[in-house]
Amino acid sequence: MLKRLHSSRGHIVLHRDIKSSNILLDTYWNTKISNFGLSSIIPASKEFSFHVSSPVGTFGYFDPRDAETGVLTKQVDVYSFGVVLFKVLCGRLCTGNYKDDYPLISKLAQSYWNEEKRIHTILLDCLQDQISPTSLSKFLSIAYKCLEITINVLQYPIS
């Protein structure tokens, strides 16, 4: 889904608002992305390509590093997709209430993995009972890789 946007000929489309309500499924369960109102198009003709911009998107889905650096790369969409994956795994909204220790699901997931090593305690019980451990492990691996991608323009080839 994202690969198609990020590997167009001549340009790269950065959606900048990947979230569960913008990912649609057709009758054959094929994914479609909607709502390109915040998207940016950057040229893919350079070995390294980035765009300086102010952060946009839905709070809880956009990469906080984007707000810090102002550098827009494909990683902003990948990070947002990781948030969507954790929403599915945990059955929670991407933002909690102000009383939560971790108001963002991305920070909750990172904390439970990095610090406490007990990610299974925040996963939906029904998923743990219905998904094979191998599949769950692969799903978690992909979701974490989406959140852990670091924005480093000098090491970011567009291919």
Q: What is the pLDDT of residues 36-90, one digit of tens each?
A: 888 888 777 655 555 566 667 788 888 877 767 777 778 889 999 999 999 999 8
Closest listed residue to residue 102, CA positions, set 58, 55, 60, 146: 60
CB 146 within 8 A of CB 140: no
User: Quick check: 150 pLDDT over 50?
Assistant: no
pLDDT digits 0-9 by tens, 92-114: 888 876 566 777 888 888 877 76
Active-site choice (17, 63, 66, 77): 17
The residue among 89, 98, 106 whose CA lies nearest residue 149 is 106
Cα 67–chain centre separation: 15
Do the beta carbons of residue 43 and residue 11 sit within 8 Å? yes
The pLDDT value recorded for residue 157 is 37
Q: Are 19 and 84 in contact (CB under 8 A)?
A: yes
Superfamily classification of domain 2-152: Transferase(Phosphotransferase) domain 1 (1.10.510.10)
What is the longest distance spanned by two Cα atoms in the chain?
Answer: 47
Give residue 54's pLDDT: 66
Residue 31 CB neighbour total at 10 angstroms? 11
SS3 of residue 121 by DSSP: helix
pTM equals: 0.80
Q: Interior CA angle at 95 toward 40 and 70, to 5°?
A: 35
pLDDT digits (tens, 9 = 90+) for 9-34: 778 888 889 999 999 999 999 999 99
**100 is known as an active-site residue:** no
Instruction: Please give the distance of CA 2 from its chain centroid, rounded to a whole number.
Output: 10
Q: What's the number of CA atoms in the CB half-sphere (13 Å) around residue 64?
A: 8
Q: Is 116 helix (H, G, I), strand (E, B) or coil?
A: coil
Domain ranges in the chain?
2-152
Give 158 or 47, the one with higher predicted confidence.
Answer: 47
* Pairwise CA distance, residues 120 & 113, whole Å: 9
Mean local confidence (pLDDT), 130-149: 86
